[in-house]
Amino acid sequence: MSSPADRSTARPDRRTLIADTAIGLVAAAGLRGLTHRAVDAAAGLPAGSTSYYLRTRTALIGACYQRLAELDVEDIDRTSLTAGGADGRGGVPDREAVAAAMAAALHRWLTEGRARQLARFELSLEAARNPELEADFHRAGEVPRAKAAEVLAALGAPRPREAAELLVAWMDGLLYDRLAGALARSRPEPDPAELADASRRMLDAALA
């Protein structure tokens, strides 16, 4: 099974390979498909490798949370949605450029990153049911919110942390609706222009 995160020719370390493979299994078969043995087989690892690094199912899911947060931030950085300026050169970010970067990230997550986002939603429900996963899930969720708060602060938001929480929630809501909502299967392919308009509206509301 190919990794949902593989975008380079570099060979991932074993923990990363395990987490990427686990995310792919959850995307394909839900949590019922996530076992240590299944990860070993899908990753082409010797039997027992996953349990050596991540002994329990809780630890395995926690590693998925951490990896999902890393990948989301990589996507955000790839679209230049950074606190150092939307142009990536350290200047003050431009609101229109930030909205365009948001739209680009959303488009990526609705297309080539679709499976990863479905896995993220599936895994988030597990954290709601299992108190042992709460800390790992919370730490992972802090990463994109902190990144968004930096950008919003640079754009002049008076309460960037509160604004970031709203912005991330709205983006998550849009992703869920388009990927798993009641009308998801009947919707047309993601439209970059529509996503750009939605991103401007979300950003304007977060900064209002």
Q: Tell me which residue of 200, 57, 70 sits closest to 142, measured CA to CA.
A: 70
What is the pLDDT confidence band of residue 76, given thresholds at 50, 70 and 90?
confident
Tell me what the pLDDT averaged over the chain comes to: 88
- pTM (two decimals): 0.83
Residue 112: other Cβ atoms inside 10 A:
12
- Token pair of 169 as six digits: 């929630």
SS (HEC) of the chain: CCCCCCCCCCCCCHHHHHHHHHHHHHHHHCHHHCCHHHHHHHHCCCCCHHHHHCCCHHHHHHHHHHHHHHHHHHHHHHCCCCCCCCCCCCCCCCHHHHHHHHHHHHHHHHCCCHHHHHHHHHHHHHHHHCHHHHHHHHHHHHHHHHHHHHHHHHCCCCCHHHHHHHHHHHHHHHHHHHHHCCCHHHCCCCCHHHHHHHHHHHHHHHHC
pLDDT (tens digit per residue) in 46-73? 999 999 999 999 999 999 999 999 998 8
Give the C-alpha separation, 158 to 138, whole Å. Answer: 24
- Sequence-distant (6+) residues with CB within 8 A of 85 are 91, 92, 93, 154
- Sequence-distant (6+) residues with CB within 8 A of 107 are 190, 192, 195
pLDDT (tens digit per residue) in 165-193? 999 999 999 999 999 999 998 989 999 99
